[in-house]
Amino acid sequence: MKLFVSEGNPHCLKVLAAVEVSGVQCDVQYVNHEERVVPFLSRPALPALLLPSGLHLFSSNAICRYLFEVSGKDSSELCNQWLEWEATDLQPALLQALHLAVVQGKGSEVSKVLQGPLNYLEQSLSKGNTPYLTGEAVSVADVVLWAALHPVLSDASLALGERASIKAWFDRGAVMHSCQSAAQKVLQGNGLQGMKSYMQRQPAPPSSQRRDSQPCNSNPAESEESERAVSAEEMETAALTWSKGLNTCPMATSRQHPILPQEGKRNILLTSALPYVNNVPHLGNIIGCVLSTDVFSRYGRMRGWNMLFISGTDEYGTATENKAREEGLTPQQICDKYHVIHSNIYKWFQIDFDFFGRTTTEKQTEIAQNIFWRIHKHGFLVEDTVEQLRCEKCQRFLADRFVEGICPHCSYPEARGDQCDKCGKLINAVELREPQCKVCKETPSIRSSKHLFLDLPKLEGQLEQWLDKSTSTGDWTANAKQITRSWLRDGLKPRCITRDLRWGTPVPHPDFKEKVFYVWFDAPIGYLSITANYTDQWEKWWKNPHQVELYNFMAKDNVPFHSVVFPCSLLGAQDNYTLVNHLIATEYLNYEDTKFSKSRGVGVFGDMAKDTGIPSDVWRFYLLYVRPEGQDSAFSWADMALKNNSELLNNLGNFINRAGMFVTKFFEGCVPAMELQQEDKRLLALVGWELQQYIQLLDKVKIRDSLRHILNISRHGNQYIQLNEPWKKIKGGDAERQRAGTVTGVSVNIACLLSVMLLPYMPTVSQTIRDQFNAPQSCVDTMLQGTGTFVCCLSAGHRIGTVSPLFQKLEVDQIEALKKEFGGQQVFDVYDA
């Protein structure tokens, strides 16, 4: 048996006294106040007794009782009663008293605080007429109370007043040598001051104890309320907002292309990482870039920001050439084919791009070459010779994916020229053992070739200066900051920007004819060229850092290209380019708990989503619900069904549908009059608070987290309906019918708010709700203003349309069939670069 105690802790005084009085053999160990001895308690709790069974006791009274029982002294009922009184009545008062005396230096106020319990003890002792609390002999109750009171009773300066019976009892305890010696051990002879360091670590007790002897008028119903407390002020504010009504002058939500930055507006340029064209995008792609960007873009427009959302397919590079060979097409044909596939998939997922372009355009060549020449002119390019594999039969250099061989690190037989899929290490193609040309299987020879490198070390100073500013003023996800920091910590090296390939943007320099730009240099320039294909005035977005905020959305593997490499290209070009202000990177999405593996050619999905029969909005909802925000997450069919059934159907859909049905069934389709009572105002305040959280989170692009607050609102709504039972009240008297009206009216207005909050996530459902309610479009413009304004937008007398269910149940067998059809083995790459 082991007893853990700490010095200066008044509770330890009790147990040490009990050890001495009971004479139980026990190994006593002194530890620090903050030591967490009891494994299941999150806050340190001392004293603690480790029992022979391995269990811990953490209540000092239970420990004392146990020590006494082991020594053969069972505690009586009276004893129980004193121990309970000590814990529930005396301790709170003592804690407050000690805090006053030791921490706040207000010893003079102690006597008032302890008055109640001390008087009670005095009365009991004098009435009982026995030397000890429970009779003629010392019991555990005496030891516990004596030890608890020792610090205050032995300090004369507290002037607690004369209480004869307590004094006699206390002195009787004091003669017991064991109690004195325990006090000496714990307080070190320093009296109250011996507890200072312990007391300073305790949370300050509430100034007026609920359990003290002062009369209080607290309403018991109130104190049992354990929901988030809503103040009267919050309720009144919410009711006031509610009564404001809709914005009289709605903002222009219709977009006029081309969208250009406007003076006096928040101008936001949104890019989502360009999906690589050589494959059908999968769920990982979709959530990692385009879907996340779409949510933010829709949200931002409702907030009244001036937004341009740009994306497109990334089409150059060796992967395209390989795919073309596989399918017997030219690279251009492959790009044309897959660009359409991508566009259609995103259309089905309702990704509302302002422009979805591609990188194989004349603008791309023009802008990339311009940036290249500017970097060249400013001396940020260096030349070097690179040893490369060349296949004489095919008459070409074998860049990364054109060659395979044995991995020099792990001996995996199918390692590629740039990276080994088995061990993940980066490989320099010439290091491959037994290299083979992927096309003709011939063994290539090593030849040297001259290349251009971006001099990143020379740009590092400028980059760091800009990064400091951007990461401290903008919203960068934690992973984006961390990945960027680790790149800088490792130091930057010159990076090759040219390749011996055909399918790419040609390098304009005469010494490097027949070479193209490396995709990492070329692809991000796609953002600029795609904008240029959207509007001739693209420079108003891209060379306007003072008016424009740039958001880049991507999965985490793409971070270094957006935070280090591409900014260096733009900084080196010295042309006042708009650089990224907010970098939003997701973690990885796995499939059915299969581990993420990169670029194995599996994970086709986007085009199949619509074949499942599950609506696009439900796909969006689930992908956003499991958005890998802050940590990796997994797509699972079973989970998707459960989220659909529990959150969409039973929570959200149920609430909205009931609210509408009540209006239809009980009030002939017209919103009834509403007389707000306290309870309604309280709900308005709760809903308003959730709306505020939603806005705060979405402003910071916490897309998954803010979705939770939408679901909280419908949960509040369901509880409210359940509690008020309008379907019963409607059959009652006038007052009850009126109450049913108010509850129905408030509910249907909350449903209307939900439709607005849902818009970024589930655009179709959002519109359907407003159509069903005939809700004015202006509610979309009103609710998300400022910190959130939940107004009554369907006022009394408003006629709603036909209400019908919004969601359908996903059955187990349906989901099992889908799971089987799509297999549990597929893996989604979040980004296939």
Binding site for another protein (CB under 8 A): 39-43, 51-53, 55, 57-59, 61-63, 65-66, 69-70, 77-78, 80-81, 83-85, 87-88, 91, 210-211, 213, 215-216, 223-224, 226-229, 625-626, 631-634, 636, 639, 642-643, 646, 712, 715
C-alpha span between 174 and 160 (Å, rounded):
18
Q: What's the chain's Rg over C-alpha atoms?
A: 36
Rounded distance, CA 519 to CA 501, Å? 11
- How is the chain split among helix, strand and coil, in percent rounded to 5? 50, 10, 35
Q: Which residue's CB is nearer to another protein, number 396 or number 715?
A: 715
User: Quick one: 142 or 315, whose CB is closer to another protein?
Assistant: 142
Provide the sign of the torsion angle of the four alpha carbons 7, 9, 10, 14, taken in this order: negative
**Given phi > 0 = left and psi -120 to 50 = alpha, else beta, which region is 411?**
left
Q: Residue 591: count other Cβ atoms within 10 Å of its Cβ.
A: 24
The DSSP 8-state label assigned to residue 487 in this structure reads H
Q: How many CB atoms lie within 10 A of CB 418?
A: 14
Task: Give whichever of 51 and 340 is closer to another protein, judged by the CB atom.
Answer: 51
Based on CB atoms, which residue is closest to another protein, 650 or 664? 650
- Taking the complex as a whole, the smallest distance from the CB of residue 5 to another protein amounts, in Å, to 17
Closest Cα partner for 586 from 439, 488, 478, 743? Answer: 478
User: Smallest gap, in angstroms, from Cβ of residue 679 to another protein?
Assistant: 16
Smallest CA-to-CA distance from 726 within 22, 717, 708 is with: 717
CA distance between the termini of the chain: 61
Are the beta carbons of 350 and 344 closer than 8 angstroms? no
Using CA atoms, how far apart are residues 750 and 692, in angstroms rounded to an integer? 14
Q: How far is the CB of 57 from another protein (least distance, A)?
A: 6
CB 688, min distance to another protein, A: 18
Nearer CB in complex with another protein: 434/593? 593
Q: How far is CA 697 from CA 113, 694, 704, in A?
A: 44, 5, 9
> In 3D, which of 60, 58, 114, 100 has the Cα closest to residue 196?
100
Kindly tell me which of 80 and 547 has the beta carbon lying closer to another protein. Answer: 80
Cis amide leading into 776 (omega within 30): no
Nearer to another protein, 164 or 638 (CB): 638
Whose CA is closest to 300, among 786, 783, 699, 811?
A: 699
Instruction: Compute the least distance from the CB of residue 687 to another protein, in Å.
Output: 16
* Minimum CB–partner distance for residue 10 and another protein (Å): 15
- Minimum distance from residue 52 beta carbon to another protein (Å): 8
CB of 202 to another protein, least distance (A): 14
CA-to-CA distance for 759 and 621, rounded, in angstroms?
11
CB of 286 to another protein, least distance (A): 17
Which CB atom, from 193 or from 693, has the smaller least distance to another protein?
Answer: 693
Q: How far is the CB of 621 from another protein (least distance, A)?
A: 14
Sign of the CA dihedral with 196 first, then 197, 199, and 203 last? positive
CB 194 within 8 A of CB 188: yes
* Identity at 337, one-letter amino acid code: K
Q: Which is nearer to another protein, 205 or 506 (CB)?
A: 205
Q: Other C-beta atoms within 10 Å of 56: how many?
A: 18
* Cβ nearer to another protein, comparing 548 with 711: 711
Cβ atoms of 819 and 638 closer than 8 Å = yes
The sign of the torsion formed by the CA atoms of 11, 17, 21, 26 equals positive
* Least Cβ distance, residue 128 to another protein (angstroms): 9
63/274 with CB nearer another protein: 63
How many C-beta atoms lie closer than 10 Å to residue 387's C-beta?
Answer: 12
Nearer to another protein, 91 or 766 (CB): 91
Nearer to another protein among residue 301 and residue 643 (C-beta): 643
Q: How far is the CB of 716 from another protein (least distance, A)?
A: 11
Least Å from the CB of residue 232 to another protein:
17
Give the angle 371-375-381 at the CA atoms, nearest 5°: 130
